[in-house]
Amino acid sequence: MNTDANAEYWNHTYTGSAIPDFPSQFAAFVLGEVAPADTIIDIGCGNGRDSFFFGRHGMKVLGVDSSREAIARCSMRREQERHPQVDFLCQDIGSPEFLRLIEERAPRREGSRLIYARFFLHAITPDLQDLALRAIAHLMAPSDRFACEFRTQRDSFQPKVASPHYRSFITPAALIAKMHAAKLNVLYHVEGFGLAKRGSEDPHVARIVACPDDAEAVELRESLHEDK
């Protein structure tokens, strides 16, 4: 991957682009189906559509993205529309300052955190995926959750709406193994078509919800099995 070219692609994509008023299908799913959180950290927030959606539902949100144009436009909308509960940070997952800056901008309060990553993991290299999962695990307490959605290997030959750019189509089982290595326990996993439609495009995606792999996670997993 040409890192500079990839960065310029995203800066160009977000320059002048409108921010939709409606959330992604995944954000609506997370709000309705995943345990509510006091604070959401939206990693790879892009145009901020889901960050603003969560903020409108009363959550404190920190949207994080490496694209300076994306963060500039999100920050401008935040000021224009007065969304004090939503903040934005321009930062790359590979930066040594990543964790420190997130903790400074979204310090842990009483209550739980949700680490949210829609269409982020497949936009970075496999090595950065490992780093990202370790960073996400570091940000989480036992009551927190991690929710991600990403393109799978089955989507590599599907038609695309966006112009060509770097994508790392992910085998879900391989990512789950990486999660386990980062001490994240998978609570929910589904994949298929119809989950992330965009106009004429219907990508094959996977959704995963995870939590720290500790005693509480094991207890929750056992209770879920009992409910079945």
Q: Which long-range contacts (CB under 8 A, 24 or more apart) does 223-226 make?
A: 224/187
Q: Span 87-98, mean pLDDT?
A: 94
Nearest CA among 122, 15, 6 for reference residue 68: 15
Q: pTM for the full model?
A: 0.88
- DSSP output for 13-77: HHTTPPPPSS--HHHHHHHHHSPP-SEEEEET-TT-HHHHHHHHTT-EEEEEES-HHHHHHHHHH
Does the pLDDT at position 11 exceed 90?
no
In the chain the domains, ranked by start, together with CATH numbers, are 3-227 (3.40.50.150)
Q: How far apart are CA 26 and CA 96, in angstroms?
A: 29
Helix (H, G, I), strand (E, B) or coil at 156: coil
Predicted pLDDT of residue 6: 64
Distance CA 219, CA 59 (A): 27
152 within 8 A of 207, measured Cβ to Cβ: no
Helices (H), the chain: 3-14, 25-33, 49-56, 68-81, 98-105, 126-139, 172-181, 215-227
pLDDT of residue 27: 97
Q: Running DSSP on this structure, what letter comes out for residue 199?
A: T
Residue reference for tokens 């999962």 = 133
Tell me: the pLDDT tens digits for 184-226? 999 999 999 999 998 889 999 999 999 998 645 555 555 554 5
